Structure formats: structure tokens, C-alpha cells
């Protein structure tokens, strides 16, 4: 099979890692994959969609507020040799000021398309997460997030962009399929008029079970100079400063727990090393941002608990990576996180932004060795059963086959008219 994968980037965030997982799984099994991205490639075999003219148009459109509506790169997408020869076009994140939504319906009419949604952006006039706003269910406009990234244009274009995105979603779901990583996002997608939910499939994100493995624990603790009985709390985020990652809640919670239990914090993430100063009486190991899965897996393996304080999420890889490593998670019950964690079995779910409840859950877990052992076993078992790369590959291959079959059937019907 010949597949074209499109994503904002080919490294860094969760969507990029999922898109790369799709590509690697396919390539390892003999399929041909072309990976297009809207930023300078980090992988040797990726192709940048953006030329000088594309960059200029994107920058101009961004200032106005229509950066994700128009794109030369999207307009000439179907003329690319790799796209002409493709069996499937697999879109991932299309935001990031590089791919015009106005071109998606034409692409979907000419090629079988799959679009994996990693956040709420495709459902709204511009924002990634709606928080408490419900305008997206009818129509956006007068956006409360205008002026904040990614709604940074001079004009509030959320009303027309909302309409443009709905046309794009309906075009893809009519001729192909939309994928969500969790039931929560699929439920919200079903609110959109005209969306045929039969063509909205759930394929959970996945992690490498060989890399993220609890068997790494003893060796990783030794190399990290952690004692065998030293209590270790892990914080992970690509951008620790982002307000939706909720690190302010983690600081409050962990400082409270540290008054009862002696612990060490391991912080993995970028852009906020000053965060160390927020834990004045706690031993902190600052790791920084990691794009090396082996080193990242060691951080998960040494931890007794992952504290995950995000206030808006879809289906985060961090929780799956911790689970595969046998590390329970304490998290706010937001988005699809409640579908990942089985409360009381693989971690604890607490009400959003309730730091007292989060602190109590962490203390309860760290203070009960039997509970820790049981949860570590449950985590690994659940991860292997539900979130392996092999399952991930098989689900995508089955979806591609279904989309191709439907596409050929529709083309045949149209030719008979």
C-alpha cells in the first residue's frame, strides 16, 4: 500500500509522534510511506511542504486571521508525484499555518482520505481546546480566546473558519474516514450536523512496549543515583509553561504531599527550568526536554507515580507511556484521560483543578506499598492488552482497507450513472 502522511511537524509533540508511529509501522511491514510536514523536517525521509511563497502567504494570512484557510501548498497538493500515486492520504494535525482548509474538500473528492484528530481544533473556529465555551456546537464568533495562540490574527475570523472546517470535515467523512483516539472526542464530533458517525472510527494512540517497560526500573534507578526505596514523583510535559498543562496545580499539590512524605521529583520537559525554585524543600532532578525514547522510558520506569495535572487533554501519550512502564498516574479527569486510567486500578482520577483531591490521591498511593505493586501490575497488563504498536498497526490497516473498498464502490456507482 502507498500512503501519504501529513502533519504539522515530524518531531516534538504528541501528534507528530503518533503520525511517525503510523509511518514506521507501515514501513516496517513493507508499505510505502511519504511523510509531508509544514515545518523544517527533523527526519531524513520527511518532505517540507512549505516553499518561500508558501511561507510568505502563511505569514500574511496569519496576520489577518486566515492562516489555516489558504495555502499554496494545499492548493497544489494533488499535483505532487507522491500524492498522485498514493492509495491513501492520511492527515493528522492540519493546523500550524501551513495547510489551507479550503483545499481539503477537493482533495477528499479526488483521493481516499483519513483524518486523525488529535485535539479540538477541527471542531472549532480556531482554538485547540474549548475549555468551558460551547459556541462551537452551533457556530463560533466573538471568540473569547481571540488574541491568544493560535487565534492571533488581527481579525476574529472564528465564524468563517468554523464554517470552512465543517465543510472540510464533512467532505472527509463522506468520502473517507475520521479517526479519533478516544470516545470523548468522537462523542463531541457527533454533535456536528451532517457528520456520519459510522465513518468516525476510534483508534487509540499506542506506545512501544519493548522500550517503555517496567523491567528497566532497577537499572534506571541505579544509573540515576536513586536509592531502591526512594520515593520518586514524575512530571512530564513538552512545554511546562503552557497554562493548560496545569503545572501550577502540580506545584501546589506536590509541595503539600512533601510535608507528609520525603520524596524526589523528576521533571521532564522544556522551557521552564526555573520551576525547580518552586520546590524549595524537595530534592529535584531536572532532566529537560527529551526526544530520545530510551532516556524517556528510564524516567517513567524509575517513578512511583506520574502526576498529570493537565486541565485540557485529548488522549495523552504520557499517560500511556507511564502505564506501559508500570507506573500509575494521578490525573485530573479531563478529555479522554478517564478512558485511559481505570480509577483505583491503574491510578486515580480526581475532579479538574482540585489540588486537595489530587494531593490525597498521591499520598494514598505512595503510602501503600501493596497498592503500588498491584497498580504497577495492572498498568502493564492494561497497556499490553490495549495500546501496543501491533494493535495500532492492525487497526490502521483494517481502516485503510475499508476506506479503499468504500471509495472504489462509490466511484463505481458514480461511473454507472
Angle between helices 369-386 and 317-324 (to 10 degrees): 110
Cβ atoms of 4 and 34 within 8 Å: the answer is yes
Judge whether residue 134 has pLDDT over 80.
yes
Element of type H or E holding 122? none
- Predicted pLDDT of residue 289: 87
Judge whether residue 323 has pLDDT over 70.
yes
Residues ≥6 apart with Cβ < 8 Å to 388? 206, 207, 209
List strands edge to edge, sheet with 32-37: 46-48, 32-37, 2-7, 88-91, 113-116, 177-180, 200-202
Rounded CA gap, 349 and 341, in Å?
7
By percentage, how much of the chain surpasses pLDDT 70? 99
Average pLDDT over residues 315-326: 98
pLDDT digits (tens, 9 = 90+) for 152-171: 888 899 999 999 999 999 99
pLDDT digits (tens, 9 = 90+) for 327-348: 999 999 999 999 999 999 999 9
Average pLDDT over residues 391-407: 96
Judge whether residue 273 has pLDDT over 80.
no
- Predicted pLDDT of residue 342: 98
- Predicted pLDDT of residue 410: 78
Average pLDDT over residues 403-409: 90
pLDDT digits (tens, 9 = 90+) for 243-260: 999 999 999 999 999 999
Judge whether residue 416 has pLDDT over 70.
no
Count CB-CB contacts under 10 A for residue 210. Answer: 11
Rounded CA gap, 174 and 166, in Å?
12
Q: Which CATH number fits domain 2-206+389-416: 3.20.20.70, 3.40.50.2000, 3.90.1010.10, 3.90.1150.10?
A: 3.40.50.2000
Query: What is the sign, positive or negative, of the torsion defined by CA atoms of 44, 45, 48, 51?
Result: positive
- Predicted pLDDT of residue 271: 67
- Name which CATH class applies to 214-386: alpha beta
Say if pTM beats, i.e. exceeds, 0.85. Answer: yes
Domains 2-206+389-416 and 214-386 share a fold: yes
Average pLDDT over residues 265-290: 88
Could you tell me the residue ranges of all domains in the chain? Answer: 2-206+389-416, 214-386
Under the banding of pLDDT at 50, 70 and 90, the label for residue 63 is confident
Name the one residue in this structure whose C-alpha cell is 524537595.
282
pLDDT digits (tens, 9 = 90+) for 216-231: 999 999 999 998 889 9
Judge whether residue 413 has pLDDT over 80.
no
Count CB-CB contacts under 10 A for residue 283. Answer: 14
Judge whether residue 412 has pLDDT over 70.
no
Rounded CA gap, 155 and 286, in Å?
41
Amino acid at each position: 500500500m502507498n500512503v501519504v502522511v501529513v502533519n504539522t511537524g515530524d518531531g516534538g509533540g504528541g501528534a507528530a509522534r503518533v503520525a511517525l508511529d503510523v509511518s514506521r509501522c507501515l514501513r516496517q511491514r513493507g508499505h510505502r510511506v511519504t511523510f509531508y510536514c509544514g515545518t523544517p523536517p527533523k527526519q531524513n525521509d520527511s518532505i517540507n511542504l512549505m516553499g518561500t511563497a508558501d511561507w510568505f502567504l502563511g505569514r500574511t494570512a496569519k496576520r489577518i486571521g486566515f492562516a489555516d484557510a489558504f495555502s499554496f501548498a494545499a492548493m497544489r497538493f494533488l499535483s505532487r508525484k507522491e500524492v498522485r500515486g498514493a492509495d491513501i492520504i492520511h492527515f493528522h494535525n492540519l493546523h500550524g499555518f501551513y495547510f489551507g482548509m479550503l483545499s481539503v474538500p477537493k482533495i477528499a473528492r479526488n483521493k481516499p482520505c483519513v483524518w486523525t484528530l488529535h485535539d479540538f481544533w477541527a471542531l472549532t473556529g480556531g482554538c485547540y481546546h474549548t475549555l468551558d465555551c460551547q459556541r462551537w456546537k452551533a457556530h463560533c464568533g466573538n471568540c473569547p480566546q481571540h488574541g491568544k495562540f493560535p487565534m492571533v490574527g488581527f481579525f476574529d475570523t472564528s465564524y468563517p473558519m468554523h464554517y470552512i472546517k465543517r465543510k472540510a470535515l464533512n467532505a472527509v467523512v463522506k468520502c473517507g474516514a475520521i479517526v479519533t483516539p478516544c470516545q470523548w472526542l468522537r462523542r463531541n464530533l457527533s454533535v456536528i450536523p451532517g457528520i456520519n458517525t459510522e465513518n468516525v472510527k476510534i483508534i487509540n494512540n499506542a506506545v512501544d512496549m519493548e522500550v517503555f517497560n517496567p523491567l528497566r526500573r532497577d537499572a534506571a534507578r541505579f544509573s540515576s543515583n536513586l536509592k531502591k526505596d526512594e520515593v520518586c514523583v514524575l512530571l512530564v510535559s513538552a512545554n511546562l509553561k503552557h497554562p493548560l498543562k496545569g503545572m501550577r496545580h502540580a506545584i501546589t499539590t506536590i509541595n503539600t504531599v512533601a510535608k507528609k512524605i520525603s520524596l524526589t521529583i523528576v521533571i521532564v520537559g522544556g522551557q521552564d527550568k526555573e520551576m525547580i525554585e518552586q520546590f524549595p524543600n524537595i530534592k529535584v532532578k531536572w532532566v529537560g526536554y527529551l526526544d530520545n525514547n530510551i532516556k524517556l522510558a528510564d524516567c517513567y520506569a524509575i517513578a512511583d507515580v506520574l502526576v498529570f495535572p493537565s486541565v485540557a487533554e485529548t488522549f495523552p501519550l504520557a499517560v500511556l507511556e507511564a502505564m506501559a512502564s508500570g507506573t500509575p498516574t494521578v490525573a485530573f479527569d479531563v478529555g479522554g484521560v478517564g478512558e485511559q486510567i481505570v480509577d483505583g486500578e491503574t491510578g486515580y482520577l480526581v475532579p479538574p483543578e482540585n489540588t486537595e483531591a489530587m494531593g490525597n490521591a498521591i499520598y494514598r498511593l505512595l503510602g501503600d506499598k501493596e497498592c503500588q505493586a498491584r497498580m504497577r501490575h495492572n498498568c502493564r497488563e492494561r497497556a499490553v492488552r490495549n495500546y501496543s504498536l501491533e494493535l495500532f498497526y492492525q487497526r490502521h490497516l483494517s481502516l485503510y482497507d475499508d476506506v479503499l473498498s468504500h471509495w472504489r464502490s462509490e466511484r463505481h456507482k458514480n461511473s454507472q450513472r
